[in-house]
């Protein structure tokens, strides 16, 4: 079911191994939130609900050359996140991202196209295939450029929390941190997500993990804010890359 007349869906999306998890929210309040898992990002764009805004935890807009500590949106977001700032990875120049199959080559190209020379973190490198997937989709479909927006869950949770970063990490030594997950679950509940919905997906469909689901909820919260003109843009106004894609984080 996609809801009746008056439904106005948005989607929050997070990447997980080999897939994307999407939380769909009806801004009209006519329908309960839903969860969808898809292997291709394009399949989320074309869901029957026809989401009018899609907010995704993945970099959009790639610089030809990186100057300083990262894209302006990454630098601005880190300044607000305090103890959670390490969750914002620096994405290198476009040419390095295109080398998603060769880590050493990607590092070499990143260093050649950055001031000062910077290599690529392993965490960022693992995102390259998904970054390329969205990048190709947005470059091929101009109609999506005012519909698909970059966000970052920890920036979303910060805004949800009145401007204060989450106190606890979601993971410790790459393992789920129950206290950090509960902190974010409580923020989502206070922000209007039904407690029954959050409880039902304590174990989301595989390969998504609990933190992926919570992050998708947070990005869906931001998608509603974008739809209603309430989102904050880092930086504002946002710069664009060589293909006209915004390099901005919204929350």
> How would you classify residue 141: left for phi > 0, otherwise alpha for psi between -120 and 50, otherwise beta?
beta
Residue with tokens 């190709």: 136
Answer yes or no: are the C-beta atoms of 50 and 212 closer than 8 Å: no
Query: Residues 161, 150, 53, CA angle at the centre, nearest 5°?
Result: 90
Answer yes or no: are the C-beta atoms of 105 and 71 closer than 8 Å: no
Within a domain: residue 105?
Answer: no
pLDDT at 5: 59
Within a domain: residue 104?
Answer: no
What are the pLDDT digits (tens) for 40-99?
A: 999 999 999 999 999 999 999 999 999 999 999 999 999 999 889 889 989 999 999 999
Segments of the chain with pLDDT less than 50? 1-3
- How many domains is the chain partitioned into structurally? 1
How far apart CA 117 and CA 119 sit, in angstroms, is 7
Domain of residue 18 covers 7-89+123-251
Answer yes or no: are the C-beta atoms of 250 and 150 closer than 8 Å: yes
How far apart CA 4 and CA 7 sit, in angstroms, is 6
Residue with tokens 């919260």: 221
Within a domain: residue 107?
Answer: no
How far apart CA 115 and CA 203 sit, in angstroms, is 43
Residue with tokens 């998504």: 208
How far apart CA 182 and CA 17 sit, in angstroms, is 23
pLDDT at 1: 34
Quickly list DSSP for 53-70.
Answer: EEEESS-----SSEESSS
How far apart CA 246 and CA 251 sit, in angstroms, is 15
Within a domain: residue 195?
Answer: yes
Answer yes or no: are the C-beta atoms of 70 and 87 closer than 8 Å: no
pLDDT at 55: 98
Question: Which run of H or of E encompasses 105?
Answer: helix 103-112
Within a domain: residue 113?
Answer: no
Within a domain: residue 102?
Answer: no
Question: Which run of H or of E encompasses 160?
Answer: helix 153-160
């Amino acid at each position: 079911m996609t809801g009746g007349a008056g439904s106005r869906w948005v989607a929050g999306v997070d990447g997980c191994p080999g897939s994307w998890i999407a939380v769909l929210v009806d801004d009209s309040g006519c329908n309960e939130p839903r969860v969808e898992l898809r292997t291709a990002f394009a399949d989320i764009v074309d869901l029957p609900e026809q989401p009018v805004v899609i907010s995704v935890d993945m970099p959009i807009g790639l610089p030809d050359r990186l100057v300083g500590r990262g894209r302006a949106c990454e630098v601005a977001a880190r300044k607000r996140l305090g103890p959670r700032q390490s969750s914002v990875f620096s994405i290198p120049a476009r040419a390095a991202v295109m080398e998603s199959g060769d880590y050493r080559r990607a590092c070499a190209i990143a260093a050649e196209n950055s001031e000062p020379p910077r290599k690529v973190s392993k965490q960022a490198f693992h995102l390259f295939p998904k970054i390329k997937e969205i990048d190709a989709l947005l470059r091929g479909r101009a109609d999506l450029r005012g519909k698909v927006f970059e966000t970052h869950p920890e920036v979303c949770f910060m805004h949800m929390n009145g401007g204060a970063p989450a106190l606890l990490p979601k993971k410790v030594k790459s393992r789920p941190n129950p206290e950090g997950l509960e902190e974010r679950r409580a923020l989502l509940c206070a922000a209007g997500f039904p407690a029954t919905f959050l409880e039902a997906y304590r174990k989301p469909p595989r390969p998504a993990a609990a933190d992926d689901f919570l992050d998708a909820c947070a990005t869906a919260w931001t998608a509603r804010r974008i739809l209603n003109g309430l989102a904050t843009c880092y930086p504002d106004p946002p710069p664009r890359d060589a293909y006209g894609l915004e390099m901005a984080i919204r929350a």
